[in-house]
Amino acid sequence: MNIIWARALVSIVLLALVCAGVGAILGAKVALGVAVTALLAQMLFSTFHKQRLWRLLDAPVYGEVPSAPGIWGEIYYRLHKLAKRWHAQVRQVEQQHSRFIQAIQASPNGVAMLDDHDQIEWCNAISEIHFGLDAKRDLRQHITHLVRQPDFVRYLNSHDYKDMLIMRGMGAKRQNVISVQVFPYGENRKLVLSQDITELERTDAMRRDFVANVSHELKTPITVLSGFLETMRELPLSEAERIRYLELMEQQASRMRHIVTDLLVLAKLEGEGRQPGDHIVDMRAVLGHVREDAESLSGGHHHITADFDDGLSVTGSETEILSALGNLATNAVRYTPDGGTVHLVWRAEQGCAIFSVADSGLGIPAADIPRLTERFYRVDRSRSRDTGGTGLGLAIVKHVLQRHDAALEVKSEEGRGSTFTVRFPMSRTTRRQPAPV
């Protein structure tokens, strides 16, 4: 038997016994009055606790359990246990929701949730940046009222989301490229994911330019060689003309060889996973080779001076450092007219090792300086080719310096010359111990 019915039956039996006893002693009318009074008291008691129960259900209290005799005490106790369990579950769900939101906010991608009317229900901070939204202000706004690019509106309304949409001119400065894809879910709701692919686009453009430049750089000498070979095969040439053609062909072949060599060096540097290590470089020998190469290329047509601190050295790859510093020195010679000066310096400055090349050459326009280390980028293309440059030297310099934690600084003024400065960090700077006497 249910405990509630059992307690009710016991109460009725007790009331009946009391009324019977009172009736036997004081008469039936008094017994009836006692019964009515007891029933009214029971009704008032039940009404009081019903009202209390109503208030508890309307605003649950998780602290102390209300006290009450009998079945009402049992009801309050069980209700209190249910409320505590429900409250714990709510807190757990809220914590999980908070962690979920934090995880989405930490994502490098934009996330926006749309309802069945394409109104914004929620978006993370990255999505705000990508689309220029404000999560608080734009809540429940139709997304196409805020993101008005025609391509996006057509994409959203097409309901064909198997491909991504590429959007340009996005972000705070309208300079970013983002990819957008919509994923339907639930009851006509949509998840809008966005990713900033500006760097990928730039890298892809550089790759296309690189392929085009390599093709162009190799096509020119190959075309020249083909023309010379055709001329030598079809036309009668004197010995002097034949020797001259062979010399020109050798120059073009040498140019292709230098391009391929520099490409291989660059590929090796880009693919090298190992760090150059802590080997102490013999900078006296390196700087000697750098000066000799510059003087050899100059052929006595420039005034080349040097100021080297022989005791100063760095750690790393001797071959790579020779390649980088040599490229800077020979570039200075290539872009300095005959009779100009090239000054090489190797010194210590505030605990760092500094290599600088200053020339009195043609100078570099300010707009070109940020692009100097791009592959095949030339300020003066014809002069670079005429002097044997491949257009890859400064790209090699950039990668070598990155591997040695060094930085390249360029200062230049058109018509007055340029200064290229390499700054090796203190962590790679050392001094050679003097040889024992």
Residues 136-172: tens digit of each pLDDT: 898 899 999 999 999 999 999 998 999 999 999 888 7
pLDDT of residue 62: 57
Could you tell me the two tokens for 47?
Answer: 């009404």
- From 268, 280, 293, select the one nearest 403 (Cα to Cα): 268
Q: How many CB atoms lie within 10 A of CB 302?
A: 22
Average pLDDT, the chain: 82
Fold of domain 277-431: Heat Shock Protein 90 (3.30.565)
Q: What are phi and psi of 346, to 5 degrees?
A: -130, 110
Structure-token pair, residue 180: 């957008």
pLDDT grade, residue 292 (50/70/90)? Answer: very high
71-109, pLDDT tens digit by residue?
777 777 777 788 788 888 888 888 888 888 888 888 889
Give the fold, CATH level 3, of 107-196.
Answer: Beta-Lactamase (3.30.450)
Name the more confident of 138 and 211: 138
Query: pLDDT-derived band of residue 437, with 50, 70 and 90 as boundaries?
Result: very low
Specify burial of residue 304 (Cβ count, 10 A radius: 0-12, 13-18, 19+).
buried
Could you give the CA distance from residue 159 to residue 183 in angstroms, rounded to a whole number? 10
Buried b (16+ CB within 10 A) or exposed e, 93-107: eeeeeeeeeeebeee
Of the ranges 35-39, 301-305, 412-416, which one carries the lowest mean pLDDT score? Answer: 35-39
pLDDT over 90 at 275, yes or no? no
Between 436 and 35, the higher pLDDT residue: 35
- DSSP readout, 134-199? -TTTTTT-BHHHH---HHHHHHHHH---SS-EEEEEETTTT-EEEEEEEEEETTTEEEEEEEE-HH
CATH number of 200-270: 1.10.287.130
pLDDT at residue 84 in the model: 80
Integer-rounded Cα Rg, in Å, for the chain is 43
240 pLDDT above the threshold of 70:
yes
Q: pLDDT tens, 20-33?
A: 776 667 667 666 77
In this structure, is the dihedral angle defined by the CA atoms of residues 192, 198, 204 and 205, taken in order, positive or negative? Answer: positive
Give the pLDDT confidence of 344-379 residue by residue, as tens digits: 999 998 888 999 999 998 888 888 888 888 877 776
pLDDT at 7: 66
pLDDT band per the 50, 70, 90 thresholds, residue 422: very high
Distance CA 353, CA 207 (A): 34
Please, which pLDDT band fits residue 436 given cuts at 50, 70 and 90? very low
Distance CA(114)–CA(108), nearest Å, equals 20
pLDDT tier for residue 44 given thresholds of 50, 70 and 90: confident
- Judge whether residue 385 has pLDDT over 70: no
pLDDT value at 10 more than 70: no
**Fold agreement (107-196, 277-431):** no
- Rounded Cα distance between 146 and 156, Å, is 13
Sign of CA dihedral 157, 159, 160, 161: positive
Domain parsing of the chain, residue ranges: 3-101, 107-196, 200-270, 277-431
Candidate from 95-99, 193-197, 404-408, 421-425 with smallest mean pLDDT: 95-99
Q: Which of 125-134, 192-201, 311-320, 370-379 has the lowest mean pLDDT?
A: 370-379
Q: Are 187 and 221 in contact (CB under 8 A)?
A: no
In angstroms, the Cα distances linking 1 to 7, 12, 117 are: 10, 16, 55
